[in-house]
Chain A
Amino acid sequence: GENVEQHPSTLSVQEGDSAVIKCTYSDSASNYFPWYKQELGKRPQLIIDIRSNVGEKKDQRIAVTLNKTAKHFSLHITETQPEDSAVYFCAARPGGSYIPTFGRGTSLIVHP
């Protein structure tokens, strides 16, 4: 089955800095990679996703990059704000399956 590794487990940045969270996956058949943000006590919410036929996708201050050859994908947040503080989960989903495998999560702390 798919195995997703996520790093770092904790990331502390100053407001205005950039943050990068990295994930690797094992199954070359995975073709869909969503990222979820979960604030304390709330549900995981999809913030951005990328499919295997695309190398990069941006949405305002967040972007995701995918390197299929190396089997890794990353979340980039620019100009971080305190409200970006949350746990972020990456996931990978093999083609033909509708079940994603989640990474272990990154706790992002943005200091004002």
Chain B
Amino acid sequence: DTEVTQTPKHLVMGMTNKKSLKCEQHMGHRAMYWYKQKAKKPPELMFVYSYEKLSINESVPSRFSPECPNSSLLNLHLHALQPEDSALYLCASSQEQGTTYGYTFGSGTRLTVV
């Protein structure tokens, strides 16, 4: 299995809703990431988990809350979002060490905040 699977593919939520994005990989990768991407812009790093521990938080507002229940799963909990949070949210994973360096991105969740 060489895939990173993200659900849901599309999500519309109101500013008072609580929702969660899910990401799963079974490649044995020990680093997992959340990115936010606006149209035709590069992905912006939000969070990094290394060996299931949060290692990087790029000053992301607290309305975004990551969780890594185990080495294969990564969640992003959303609460009280703003319309400007509408974007493509990408999960990625990579091996920390060894000869495989490239990221594998999931297909993303297209989030619209209304």
Contacts and interface: CB of A to CB of B under 8 A. Distances in A.
B35 to A, nearest CB: 9
Given A34-B102, A43-B107, A105-B40, 16 more contacts: A32-B101, A41-B110, A44-B43, A44-B90, A44-B103, A45-B105, A46-B102, A46-B103, A49-B101, A89-B42, A89-B43, A93-B101, A98-B101, A99-B56, A102-B42, A103-B42
A74 to B, nearest CB: 18
A104 B41 contact: yes
Nearest to A93: B101
A99 B101 contact: no
Interface in A5-55: 32, 34, 41-46, 49, 51
Contacts of B110: 41
Interface in A33-85: 34, 41-46, 49, 51
B66 interface: no
Contacts of B31: 98
Interface residues of B, number: 21
17 contacts: A32-B101, A41-B110, A42-B107, A43-B90, A43-B105, A44-B43, A44-B105, A45-B105, A46-B104, A49-B101, A89-B42, A98-B50, A99-B45, A99-B56, A103-B42, A104-B41, A107-B40
B94 interface: yes
A101 B40 CA distance: 16
Contacts of B90: 43-44
A42 B110 CA distance: 10
Interface string B31-52: 1000000001111010010100
Contact of A49 (B56, B102, B104): B102
Interface string B72-92: 000000000000000000100
Contacts of A87: 40
A100 B42 CA distance: 11
B30 to A, nearest CB: 9
A105 B96 contact: no
